[in-house]
Structure 1
Amino acid sequence: MAIAFVFFGFLAIGMPIAFAIGLAGLAGLIQLDNPRFMLAGVSKLFTGMDSFTFLAMPFFILAGEIMNHIGITRQLMRLAHVLVGHFRGGLAHANMVASVLFSGLTGAATADAAAFGKTLVPEMVRNGYRRDYAAAVTAAGSIIGPTIPPSGLMVVYGSLMGVSIGGLFAAGILPGLVICAVCMAIIALGATRNNLPPAEKRVSLKVLLRSVRDAALALIMPVIILGGILGGVVTPTEAASVAVAYALFVGAVIYRNLSWGALYQMLLATARTTGVIFAIIAFASLLGWWMSFERIPQAIADAVLSISENRLVVIFLIVVILLVIGMVMDITAILIILAPVLVPLANEVGLEPIHSGIIFVLALNISLMTPPVGACLFVLASVTGEKLERIAAKLWPFLVAEIAVLFIFAYWEGLALFVPRLLGFAN
């Protein structure tokens, strides 16, 4: 209890999440009253990051930075609009489809939220959409990108829990597509209530083919990443580095709009983002180490099982824990701290490791949209100038629908593992 007070106390005064976790872990080691633990804690910070697979994250981030900078994302947005612009509220539908197309570029919900908040939201407002509704649609779609691989959370989960990252990537494809379809259904059902603009004229086949051709260079990116990993040709880290090489080739040779100065700025942005993630990983490993000495994971597991040992109830409790804690804490930190606690519990009631992983990823991605500290909401409020509470008010139908999708995949193992089993990653 004292350690929790230390952690939340530091968060309350505005300390960055990584340092709040680190100081809580340090307080825990001091509480153990053994100098050996203090000395070993220093090395624990480094061993927590000592995983070759973690190298995939900075490469994926850099590839997304380059693709965004060279302007290839505009072709993806245009293709999305061409595909679904003939529906009422076409730009809102295009927002969702663009999130699917963008999934191979960033792997981060906040990056997609920022990119679309600066581009699609103003475009939607100019075409007659309310700004709060446009921002809410963008927030709802922002979690599709890190659900359909590549996904930084999947890389972290797979590295920590010894689960196939390729299998997790495969498991994320179907939930991401289902979330897109469900959100498009919400847009269609609410078209009259939200006074969405009328449908546009369906484009000709010639225009459609031209849009596909213009976006082809961007569409190749997920083929490189997913095809290489799922085909067993490359590891996730190798696929990420190949994606960077491809993005550099497109920018420097084909578009010729990639300067050394711009590349330097993108490397800086990648280093900042990666540094934050790795700091959280390092300090969370220290806190997790202390928790293992105190047998806190076992205590939490026993507490859950004391409520019920029924598989359905335990899955429900795991999902609720992730969603509730995700409302007030950084999702990477949650993953590192709670995965070693909750995954053995999930395994105990018969969940496949990949199935547990996709539950974690979906739940934590959804928590990025929930107040009070939903990162995507804050990003969109910042880049659009809209009030966070107005965005949240328009977001709730999408949030309810996505939570329903989460529970469907949590309880329906056959659906959750359909693609991994098809590709030989699960039994």
Structure 2
Amino acid sequence: MSLLLVLLFAGMLVIGVPVAVSLGLSAAVTIMAFGLPVNVLAQRAVNALDSVQLLAVPLFILAAGLLSAMGVTGHMFDLVRMLVGRVRGGVAQVTVLVNLIFSGISGAALADIGALGKIQIDQMVGQGYRKDFAAGLTIAAATIGPIFPPSIPIIIYASVTNVSAVQLLIAGIVPALLITVFLMIQIGFIAAFRSLPRDDARPAAAAILRQAVFTFPALVTPVLLIAGLLSGWFGPTEVAAVTVAYALLIGFGVYRTLTWRAVWDSLLETVDATANILFIVASAAVFAWVLTLDRVPALAGSFLLGLSDNPLVLLFLVNVLLLLVGMVLESIAAILIIAPIVAPALHAAGVDPLQLGIVFVLNLMIGLLTPPVGMSLYMVSIIARMPVHTVVRGCAPFLVSLLISLAVVSAVPAVTTWLPQSLGK
């Protein structure tokens, strides 16, 4: 049964059928071929969507859309550029820092690229950076977004594996900072060896202060979100709703750049993005049910534990698997299909659920940089008007920092577990 399911799914992907349709249709055909009750299709799909945690997904998408509609992203970039842009390779360093800041709002790599990508690439190219370098760094820096809270992939992973979404979101803070540091160190080395340009901006202290005051209400957004999670005042769904309310407040009351037309457009974009995500969630739930019925998770768990009972060895094997899967499968679909299969076995072997969740998501975010299905590559190719192979060439050096970050997170559980455990105590 599982063989037919996987063959149908792979065949549909090869001929270009969308992932969500491939998941649902292959499961439906398998269910009918083996005489299973057809009503399970609707039952499993609806049950998968009946989740309070998943309510955070459209709310975070809406919050990011509202903040982008205000036009504050450019001001964020300008402020950070004024503060740290004068070092060699400064605009590249600013690109990484701004992505860290905006990641506390968006929760998705593609949202970061959509909001910041053109600004970042234009600024770097205008300063004399190579265009492929600018495009590659923009994509690499966007991987911080899905690791730092709020993170839509982390919320979906938590809902699938029954891990606390709040703890898992908090567990992503230190790894996201680690990725930021490694990328900035790499840029520092590249700046020294390639003599990257210095920023030509020389703002006065008064100009920096004005920009800081203007940008402050937007910068408070990620602080509000993280403080709510760390304090325990809000769960992920509540903090998402508070973020939307705060975005509306500053958009209409402080900046006064938000219009009802922009709100309506943000709502439409939210519906479109949420429908795509939840369609995959519902289809993958039926797909996973067929695998479970055929005891694939149990067999996979036995196979993994038969290879080794060393948590580090098992994490290494899962890393290799996920890096390969990330090349050919969309990240949310990969989480929904693979996490229920491998997570129980690794938990049984002693891998901390929080560490595994961050390792899982980080692997798949690296997959956004790798062809043939790396969505970030194609998005930046459109934004920068560059061939995809040139974007891939620009991305390749930054895989070093991302893979080192992945190795550290995999080898040192405390990187992910220290902060949630400290707050728990």
The corresponding residue for 2:288 is: 288
Within 5 Å, which residues of 2 pair with 1:185-224?
185-198=185-198, 200=200, 206-224=206-224
- Corresponding pairs, count: 423
SS in structure 2 opposite 1:191? helix
More displaced 10-residue stretch of structure 1: 257-266 or 170-179 = 257-266
Distance 1:166 1:112 in 2: 22
Of 35, 53, 77, the match for 1:33: 35
More displaced 10-residue stretch of structure 1: 414-423 or 197-206 = 197-206
The corresponding residue for 1:309 is: 309
Distance 2:336 2:374 in 1: 18
Shift of 1:192: 4.8
The corresponding residue for 2:18 is: 16
CA contact (8 A) 2:66 2:266 kept: yes
Distance 2:421 2:200 in 1: 40
Q: Does 1:320 align with 2:320?
A: yes
SS in structure 2 opposite 1:227? helix
Shift of 1:396: 1.7
Gaps of 5+ in 2: none
The corresponding residue for 1:51 is: 51
Give TM-score scaled by structure 2 length: 0.95
More displaced 10-residue stretch of structure 1: 128-137 or 5-14 = 5-14
SS in structure 2 opposite 1:87? coil
Shift of 1:193: 4.8
Shift of 1:212: 2.7
Distance 2:79 2:147 in 1: 21
Shift of 1:116: 2.3
Distance 1:160 1:5 in 2: 24
More displaced 10-residue stretch of structure 1: 75-84 or 189-198 = 189-198
Distance 1:254 1:198 in 2: 34
Within 5 Å, which residues of 2 pair with 1:240-255?
240-255=240-255
SS in structure 1 opposite 2:172? helix
The corresponding residue for 1:403 is: 403
Q: 1:200 to 1:418 in 2, by over 3 A?
A: farther
Distance 1:14 1:65 in 2: 29
Deviations along 1:316-355, one digit per CA (max 9) or x if unpaired, are 0111111110110011011111111111111011012112
CA contact (8 A) 2:170 2:420 kept: yes
CA contact (8 A) 2:82 2:201 kept: no
Shift of 1:86: 1.9
Q: Aligned partner of 2:15: which letter?
A: I
Q: Aligned partner of 2:362: which letter?
A: L
Distance 1:208 1:114 in 2: 26
Within 5 Å, which residues of 2 pair with 1:23-422?
23-34=25-36, 37-198=37-198, 200=200, 206-422=206-422
Q: Aligned partner of 2:79: which letter?
A: L
Quote the sequence identity (%): 35
Shift of 1:410: 1.2
Shift of 1:27: 2.3
Distance 2:401 2:253 in 1: 43
CA contact (8 A) 1:89 1:187 kept: yes
Distance 1:321 1:2 in 2: 21
More displaced 10-residue stretch of structure 1: 112-121 or 185-194 = 185-194
Distance 2:195 2:376 in 1: 25
Deviations along 1:106-142, one digit per CA (max 9) or x if unpaired, are 1110111122222111121112111111000101100
Shift of 1:152: 0.2
Deviations along 1:376-402, one digit per CA (max 9) or x if unpaired, are 111101111112111211222211221
More displaced 10-residue stretch of structure 1: 242-251 or 110-119 = 110-119
SS in structure 2 opposite 1:48? helix
CA contact (8 A) 2:302 2:345 kept: no
CA contact (8 A) 1:65 1:266 kept: yes
Shift of 1:206: 4.6
Shift of 1:205: 5.0
Distance 1:305 1:238 in 2: 38
The corresponding residue for 1:4 is: 6
Q: Aligned partner of 1:112: which letter?
A: D
SS in structure 2 opposite 1:112? helix
Q: 1:196 to 1:33 in 2, by over 3 A?
A: same
Deviations along 1:79-114, one digit per CA (max 9) or x if unpaired, are 221232122111111000000110122111011112
Deviations along 1:289-332, one digit per CA (max 9) or x if unpaired, are 00000111122223323332322211101111111101100110
Deviations along 1:395-415, one digit per CA (max 9) or x if unpaired, are 222112211211211121122
Distance 1:277 1:304 in 2: 30
SS in structure 2 opposite 1:423? helix
More displaced 10-residue stretch of structure 1: 307-316 or 132-141 = 307-316
SS in structure 2 opposite 1:38? coil
Deviations along 1:232-273, one digit per CA (max 9) or x if unpaired, are 111211111111111111111222222222211111100000
Q: Aligned partner of 2:412: which letter?
A: W
Shift of 1:375: 1.0
CA contact (8 A) 2:64 2:105 kept: yes
How much is the aligned-residue C-alpha RMSD, in angstroms? 1.7
CA contact (8 A) 1:410 1:416 kept: no
Distance 1:163 1:111 in 2: 25
Q: Aligned partner of 2:177: which letter?
A: L
Shift of 1:12: 1.9
Q: Aligned partner of 2:26: which letter?
A: A
Deviations along 1:54-83, one digit per CA (max 9) or x if unpaired, are 110101000000000101112211122123
